[in-house]
Chains A and B, each alone.
Chain A
Amino acid sequence: MSENSSVLETESRIIRPFRAGMPNLRQYFIDVRKRKEFVLELSRAERAEEHLDTVFGQLWSVLSPLLSAGVYYLFIFVVQGGHQGTEFFLHLVAGIFIFELVSTAGTRGANSIVRAGALINNTSFPRVLLPLTDILTAFRVFLPAMFIYAIFHFALGGTLYIASLQAIVALVLLVMFASGLAMFASTAQVYFRDTQALMPFALRLTMFLSPVLYFPEQAKALLDGRFLAVFNPVFCMVQIFSGSLVRGDTFDLWTWVLAIFWATASLVGGFWFLVSREGEFAARI
């Protein structure tokens, strides 16, 4: 964590005050790279602990968002008074699944630093590795869900579009956003221990304000959804992911600019917030 930090380095090093509250970022990234095995091993151990590495554990992790999709579909069926079509169902499943990735990363990640208090108080290492581990775990849990989505997609008559490749870019952007969210929430949890408890409310609100339970063009409030597209960070990312996957939609430059802007802002902002505060963690936890 300090500019010369890694415990067990053989070379001589000098620990100095951080400049403007930040460690030497070059050394920081070297330390992060050197410990990639730590991230892989911690994620593996935590998935094994929660049985997420077994077939039934993975099925259960897919079943939960799938049931949510079923409940929301039923709710919308009752409210709208009829079927919304298979396209809408696929949109709902894709949206719920991708939101589950963001949600799992955010809620798990929020506790990642406080949970590792004993390690923080004993070992010097880049603290950003802890929320990154939860991102990896959330991503690994998400992958079987996409397999289930593919089964639904083709079973319900969906086709594979060239435009669907955009979903991969949207997924990368959503992982960037989720990483920033996890870094921000894990740091906030050090100062406010109820951050993790507040995350589900914030995430549910974000989901309702994103095109998950409705198609983007169905948003009527807030300037026909244009306000949401600009100020809801995940709106455009979810729109691109689901739209390209389900309907083979293509998107204008503005939608891409907003998606890339929010993904980058979240990643850079979350990283800066964590790294600028991590010098205090050993005194606060």
Chain B
Amino acid sequence: MSSLPEFNELTVAVRNLKLNYKTNITKKPNFKEALLHFGRGERTAITVEALKGVSFDVHKGTVLGIIGANGAGKSTLMKAIAGLLPPTEGEIEIRGKVSAMLSLGVGFNPNLSGKENVVLGGLAAGLSRAEIDDNFSKIVDFAQLHDHIEMPMRTYSAGMYSRLGFAVATTINPEILLIDEALSTGDASFKEKSAARISELAQQAKTLIVVSHALATIQELCTDAIWLDHGNLVGRGSPDQMVAAYTKFLNVGGASIAMEDF
């Protein structure tokens, strides 16, 4: 019980977060398209108001699920917490090491081997070579890649990418772990293994923030949930409450496709 106060400690505080970003609306962002649009007096980029004043706190040991429709701002919120997109207004307080598994996680150069990508990803994230070397065999074991780790990542399947990304993100001992739609790939046994790892991390008073369209995943893994809609926080509560409210809002019912996966 002595660890109870630790579990109440704040790790992430999002305060009145507004985030706008510009994105291309042209088919291909190049000079030709820009000139053609300029000639017609059209713009090539639009400003998206992705988050419109979101506030919430997350404490140690919490597995927070984020649900919402496409375009709700879930991935933008994760990128902001990971430090990838700067806020337009408001602030995010982070207490502890953050590790993220957003988009593909690792593998930024498919021509390099899995090992080289793990090392480079770790060095880019600020880890020392010694820290990476210490954890490397654990990463390979968890990802079940064995000899494949020396092969170029272009030869990997989507599941192998996902396994390696999850293994890297969870093995480097983060205090805060961000996972965006990364659990939907991989086979059933790996999903089970990753769910066990998530529970283990939560028991160790780590903070996890999970984005998933698979509502069953949110209900199964998370201890808390928030619901985003068009950049606004529309609800916070237990995963069951939020999923029920969200499915009612969608009017798709509990057995809909939103519940599938995991």
Contact = CB atoms under 8 A, between A and B. Distances in A.
Interface in B238-258: none
Given A1-B84, A12-B93, A122 B29 contact: no
Interface residues of A, number: 50
Contacts of B108: 115-120, 122
Contact of B82 (A38, A41, A124): A124
Nearest to B128: A37
Contacts of A279: 85-86
A18 interface: yes
Given A18-B86, A279-B85, A7 B28 contact: no
Contact of B89 (A6, A14, A17, A122): A17
A8 B102 contact: no
B109 A115 contact: yes
A106 interface: no
Given A15-B92, A194-B32, A4 B83 contact: yes
Contacts, number: 165
A192 B80 contact: no
A280 B21 contact: yes
A18 B89 CA distance: 9
Interface residues of B, number: 58
Contact of B126 (A4, A14, A125, A192): A125
Nearest to B169: A122
B37 interface: no
A145 B109 CA distance: 28
Interface in B93-107: 93-107
Interface of A: 1-2, 4-10, 12-18, 23, 31, 34-35, 37-38, 41-42, 45-46, 49, 115-125, 129, 191-195, 198, 279-280, 282-284
Interface of B: 21-24, 28-32, 34, 48, 76, 79-80, 82-109, 111-112, 116, 119-121, 123-129, 172, 174-175
